[in-house]
Amino acid sequence: MKVSEAISKRILELCSSNNISINKLALMSGLTQSTLQSIIDGKSKNPTILSIARISESLNMNLNEFFNSNLFSNLDLEI
């Protein structure tokens, strides 16, 4: 699995577990809906750590907690 795909799946997983929509997460994190949707859709092949940090913070978690998922095991590091 590529890094961008793992990040997308993790965001969707967290939205589901927190019972929030992508639009609500965008609002909470201060990211534009188009930026967040681009990450989810895989159009953004290399989301910035700042975007991921904003998402994490809006869900009351740190970056360690965001990346603490089996999704990030055995990643394909090719872009």
How far is residue 63's CA from residue 43's CA, in Å, rounded to a whole number? 22
Q: What is the pLDDT of residues 32-70, one digit of tens each?
A: 999 999 999 989 888 999 999 999 999 999 999 999 999
11 neighbors 39 (Cβ within 8 angstroms)? yes
> In the predicted model, what is the mean pLDDT of the chain?
94
Split at pLDDT 50, 70, 90, the class of 78 is: low
57 is written with which tokens? Answer: 């913070």
pTM score of the predicted model: 0.91
CATH class of 3-63: mainly alpha
pLDDT, mean of residues 5-17: 97
47 is written with which tokens? Answer: 């989301």
Please give the full DSSP string across 36-67, using - where no structure is assigned.
HHHHHHT--SS--HHHHHHHHHHTT--HHHHH
pLDDT greater than 90 at residue 79 = no
